[in-house]
Amino acid sequence: MWQLYQFPLCPFSRKVRLLLGEKGVGYDLVRESPWLRRDEFIDMNPAGQTPVMTDPERGLKPLMDSTAICEYLEETVEKAAMLNGSAAYRAETRRLVVWFDTHFFHDITAPLLHERMIKRIFTKETPDSKALREAMKAAVRHLDYTDYLLDHSNWMAGSTMSMADLAAAAQISVADYLGGIDWKNHEQTAKWYRGLKSRPSFRPLLSERMEGIAPPKHYDDVDF
Amino acid sequence: MWQLYQFPLCPFSRKVRLLLGEKGVGYDLVRESPWLRRDEFIDMNPAGQTPVMTDPERGLKPLMDSTAICEYLEETVEKAAMLNGSAAYRAETRRLVVWFDTHFFHDITAPLLHERMIKRIFTKETPDSKALREAMKAAVRHLDYTDYLLDHSNWMAGSTMSMADLAAAAQISVADYLGGIDWKNHEQTAKWYRGLKSRPSFRPLLSERMEGIAPPKHYDDVDF
């Protein structure tokens, strides 16, 4: 059985979990708080980041980095392929995965995690309200962009569900948990997100809680 | 013919150019200075980053993001495959590509570009010597890690040359151009880098210059 090292609000672990869920691959969760920089974890992954995926029974080297893990799963598990279509379609899918993993994360998810999670549970500092405002303004810009993408097609990369949707949903779900998303005026993205939230792959994520941090009421409501 | 939007010291464009060179795919260079945020370029790539690859004759949508471009080339050009071996080997290759694209870039290449290129040619500020010292200290740590990897095998990811080597060489070559690499005590990595520098795919990069910024003497010397 796969073991996935993660914490409930890690967006990159969520991306991998959504893919595992869609593919029907079983796994156990191993709680890892990367901000503690546990020696054994750093020895396993010098980047010090979740997710890491291991399968002790199979004696594989640990898989690290969410993109490398997702490509591995795409190559080894045929069911529910999320990198589909022509080479150009796959390039657009991968561009969007990087967009959400890098730009959305940097502008929105990372500052929200820092201000509302790390400061609450680890450094015990007061959140910086300017940084929070900036993140929430960036979220409006980013959701304008996803609205634009979804104006042109049913899914982020085009006519079929892909890794781009899972990467987007993973980041958005963490930002939403941390109160960073104002759904007003983003009906296209909200409609797409309602569809994703109602998928069986999404349910385990929505029911999980990070200790000491409560999500807003609408967070796990499929008809928010 | 492909057109590659880039500037001479863009490490991500260098990664793509090394792959194009290995595969023997022809391309024209289009100079783009992403820090100027030219409207037409932002319209093409909302991330505002090089490289972007287009082929006006074929009427393809522009390809964006160096990883999406490299995966596209791997899928469409058989020659000189750089994602090889078992799924686990490919996962290790992709993990290392992310390592160099993200961690090496963040710790070393990005601050060097900011302090020694952007400040010289664009903002006309004085470089921050503390930031430069930090980047050069980080380079020692990172080259200790590549020495360790190359202690165990001939190439970064294992027994065969891969995208991990191209990603590493792209970052290292820009850091070296900007005087950020002290080769002393890094014989393993230096030996590997000498091998890469002498490949035909590397020659066009080494002969290029960024206006107003001269590299150190050893930069284009294959036997440095």
A50-103 confidence digits (pLDDT tens): 999 999 898 889 999 999 999 999 999 999 999 999 999 999 999 999 999 999
Question: Measured between alpha carbons, how far is A19 from A23 in angstroms, rounded to an integer?
Answer: 6
Kindly determine whether residue B65 and residue A95, on different chains, have CB atoms separated by under 8 Å: yes
Residues of A in contact with B67 (CB under 8 A): 67, 94, 98
> If 0-12 CB within 10 Å is exposed, 13-18 middle and 19+ buried, where does residue B125 land?
exposed
According to the CATH classification, is domain A2-76 in 3.40.30.10? yes
| Contact A55/B at CB under 8 A | no
Q: Is there a shared CATH topology between the A2-76 domain and the A87-220 domain?
A: no
- State yes or no: ipTM above 0.90: yes
Residues of B in contact with A64 (CB under 8 A): 95
According to the CATH classification, is domain A87-220 in 3.40.50.10490? no
Res B224: pLDDT? 86
Instruction: Give the tens place of pLDDT for each residue, B46-56.
Output: 999 999 999 98
Res. A223 pLDDT band, cuts 50 70 90: confident
CB-based contact B93:B167 (threshold 8 Å): no
Instruction: Give the tens place of pLDDT for each residue, A172-197.
Output: 999 999 999 999 999 999 999 999 99
In chain B, where the domains are located: 2-76, 87-220
Question: Measured between alpha carbons, how far is B163 from B101 in angstroms, rounded to an integer?
Answer: 11
Q: Locate B10 and state its tokens.
A: 């863009």
Residues of A in contact with B12 (CB under 8 A): none
> If 0-12 CB within 10 Å is exposed, 13-18 middle and 19+ buried, where does residue B206 land?
middle
Q: Is the dihedral of CA A42, A47, A50, A53 positive or negative?
A: negative
Question: Measured between alpha carbons, how far is A95 from B46 in angstroms, rounded to an integer?
Answer: 11
Res B59: pLDDT? 87
**Which element (helix H / strand E) includes A107?**
none
In angstroms, what separates the C-alpha of B52 from chain A's closest C-alpha? 11
Kindly determine whether residue A88 and residue B72, on different chains, have CB atoms separated by under 8 Å: yes
| Contact A98/B at CB under 8 A | yes
